[in-house]
Copies of this chain bind each other. A is one copy, B any other.
């Protein structure tokens, strides 16, 4: 096999190109397709070289790298979490990611992952709920109505069958924004005055808040038998949403236990606190919900395999739609041992100018 020069130039999918792609294909189609990829990849869990993400913490936030690979493809995501960013006009979470060819190490895709992360997180949440929530779940409390909330709403509507949302956010403007955005969705939207009120009568409770603190978003006295809790926002050390008594009262499911014990709501619990990895339920190796009265918790922190699955969907869809452009991030060398030669040659001309370079 000979590689062409162009083969070292990855496809670049910008944020506007990703928006274009999702508008063309429809959001619910994209979330469903990403969910299918995640489910398929979780079923071959042991094919992947997995590690807890690498986090650099600072006073106001964290920057993380999330690599994963199987025998053929490698991916990583860069993602930050800075809750104070919204006050500066910036997003709390910004992300981009890369796919690469394991056989050669060449990057094949450089993509935005801010929009795509919102879709893959919602897809994962909905997949978990499809497996863990009571099948007759129709009402969901949505606590935290920020950047990711609408994606959760659409995913639960189309993949789980949710028809009614009970909404609460400490910022009423965030809730108003969600209501406006989802006016045409067909979902029944009920604005509530508190978390406690929103949770009343809910079959599923989704918490997707951004505070970088051990916030008590949900406590055990708000729970009802049979609830499924989708805890999305507690996703780094020192950042939790559930009190310990919620976790004690429930059967708890996670993505990748070594990472979740550091970052998830279960960081509050002893190291031997029992959790089930979601892939084990998908694969039929472990039980999900044991009975209709049990409270289940999906303590989601976001795992690299979900980004791998989402990036592969976006890559294939962009190629199919002819979206994106090539990025000259890697030098295209006629002779790979002659990197220095790129400095000597004018573009398009073989004439050497060693004086200029060596001067």
Contact = CB atoms under 8 A, between A and B. Distances in A.
Interface of A is mostly: mixed
Interface stretch (A86-94, A197-205, A250-258, A282-290): A86-94
Interface string A164-205: 000000010110011001111110000000000000000000
A331 B184 contact: no
A336 B65 contact: no
B82 A105 contact: yes
Contact of A15 (B182, B328, B344): B328
A91 B15 contact: no
Interface in A299-352: 327-333, 335-344, 347
B89 A106 contact: no
5 nearest interchain CB pairs?
Answer: A80-B105, A184-B354, A150-B340, A147-B339, A15-B331
Given A90-B336, A91-B330, 15 more contacts: A2-B88, A8-B94, A14-B328, A15-B332, A19-B331, A26-B357, A54-B65, A61-B102, A76-B78, A85-B105, A91-B336, A91-B339, A112-B329, A146-B337, A182-B358
Interface of A: 1-3, 7-8, 12, 14-16, 19, 22-23, 26-28, 49, 51, 54, 56-58, 60-63, 65, 67-69, 71, 74, 76, 78, 80-82, 85-86, 88-92, 94-96, 98, 100, 102-107, 110, 112, 114-115, 118, 146-151, 154, 171, 173-174, 177-178, 181-186, 327-333, 335-344, 347, 353-359
